[in-house]
Amino acid sequence: AEKKRIAVLPGDGIGPEIVDESVKVIKETGKQFGYDFECSFGMVGGGAIERLKNPLPEETLTLCRNSDAVLLGAVGGPRWDSNPPHLRPEKALLGLRQELGLFANLRPATLFPGLEKSSSLKPEVLEGVDLLVVRELTGGIYFGEKYTEETGEGARATDTLVYYEHEIERIVRRAFRLAKGRRRRITSVDKANVLESSRLWRRVVDRVSKDFPEVRVQHMLVDNCAMQIISRPADFDVIVTENMFGDILSDEAAMLTGSIGMLPSASLGKGPLGLYEPVHGSAPDLAGQGVANPIAAILSSAMMFRHSFHDEEAARAIESAVKKVLSSGARTTDIALAGSLALSTEEFGDRVCEALRRYGPDP
């Protein structure tokens, strides 16, 4: 069996609940596809602040660096919301992304059969939805200089949005390569009518596009894109955009799939190490109830097989197990229709494992 080390960082709120289900699915997939997984748990976010006064302890970072892949739940919660920046759970995510060089964040939004009715949009608008947001993850306004100062007119706060040309080029190239393997269309999203960084972004996209003549490129302003995503979502294939625009557009795109609880992500860099986490947060309103949707976390593990272990077959087995469970009518609360029965987080995870056992490859 192929040995792989996975760093598991459950985090806060519903993080541990959904990660448990994802780990179960990873182990089941490992049995079916011949892996020997060593899962080591690490502290991150609010829990790490409580115990070690550090949202991203050095030992957690070391654990990640010594692993083949990282699986993360979610961080954050009201308890830490008024902490100073270096003692906020979210700082752990930013630190992991930066320290591990994970500049490319892949956030696919696909509609599973039967879930049209769970979305707030009309089923006919959703037909054929299959888009991929490629979000720049280690630059832009998240990582620019930021400070608050006292002035004669009161407090003044500054955030800066900065991009080097090379930072734009590497994410754009990644997006073009991904588009080549899909429907060969790219929408580059920016605010070039106002922002200098967006004008540079546009120039880089135009230059890189010459190396990919088979991919059709379109520039779109972010405000228009926010509207187009819900008016004709099926027309989008790959969307490539800067850090904060990608954050916002991907939560919006989640509703095309029925729930934010459906959206997985992969954060990749130059090297082989990848981090896999749901797009959603720690959902403090659901924490501890065992009702959170584990699909985003489970599909993130499918992305782990695809992008870190280069095992497309295992990735598809997980995705089709999720599809089969959904086709059987099983739902969690967020995607269940009013009045219908919903499974718990754990029950849903068990069903996915069962489907994997039943339909996985013969031993």
Residues labelled catalytic: 142, 191, 223, 247, 251
Among residues 294, 225, 311, 343, which one has the least CA distance to residue 34? 311
Beta carbon of residue 292, minimum distance to ligand NAD (angstroms, whole number): 4
DSSP type of residue 273: -
- Token reading at 248: 């916002």
In this structure, which amino acid lies at residue 159?
A: D
Beta carbon of residue 244, minimum distance to ligand NAD (angstroms, whole number): 13
- 286 is known to lie in a ligand binding site: yes
* Separation CA 206–CA 318 (nearest Å): 37
Residues with Cβ < 8 Å from 74, sequence gap 6 or more?
11, 12, 13, 14, 15, 18, 45, 277, 278, 280, 281, 282, 283
Residues 93-122 that bind ligand NAD (CB under 6 A): 93
Distances 95 to 6, 14, 65 between C-alpha atoms, Å: 19, 21, 13
Size of the site for Mn ion (CB under 5 A): 1
Query: 261 contacts which partner out of Mn ion, ligand NAD, ligand IPM, none, CB within 5 to 8 A by kind?
Result: ligand NAD
Among residues 306, 293, 355, which one has the least CA distance to residue 22? 293
Kindly indicate which of the ranges 86-94, 151-159, 244-252, 287-295 contains the residues binding Mn ion, using the contact rule CB under 5 A: 244-252
Interface pick for Mn ion out of 21, 247, 277, 319 (rule CB under 5 A): 247
Residues 258-317 that bind ligand IPM (CB under 6 A): 279, 281
- 135 is known to lie in a ligand binding site: yes
Interface pick for ligand NAD out of 179, 296, 298, 304 (rule CB under 6 A): 296
CB atoms within 10 A of CB 9: 30
Should residue 293 be labelled a site residue for ligand NAD when binding is judged by CB under 6 A?
A: yes
Size of the site for ligand NAD (CB under 6 A): 22
CB closer to ligand NAD, 260 vs 356: 260
Helix 345-359 to helix 312-327 angle (10° resolution) is 120
Should residue 334 be labelled a site residue for ligand NAD when binding is judged by CB under 6 A?
A: yes
Tell me, residue by residue from 72 to 101, as one string, x for binding to ligand IPM by CB under 6 A and - for no binding.
----x-------------x--x--------
- 90 is known to lie in a ligand binding site: yes
- 201-208: list long-range contacts, CB under 8 Å, 24+ apart: 201/163, 201/168, 201/242, 204/165, 204/168, 204/169, 204/172, 205/168, 205/172, 205/240, 208/169, 208/172, 208/173, 208/176
Among residues 263, 249, 183, 186, which one has the least CA distance to residue 217? 186
CB closer to Mn ion, 250 vs 308: 250
Which residues define the annotated binding site for Mg(2+)?
223, 247, 251
Contact set with ligand IPM (CB under 6 A): 76, 90, 93, 247, 279, 281
Which residues define the annotated binding site for substrate?
97, 107, 135, 223
Contact set with ligand NAD (CB under 6 A): 14, 18, 74-77, 90, 93, 260-261, 277, 280-286, 292-293, 296, 334
Contact set with Mn ion (CB under 5 A): 247
Which residues define the annotated binding site for NAD(+)?
77-90, 281-293
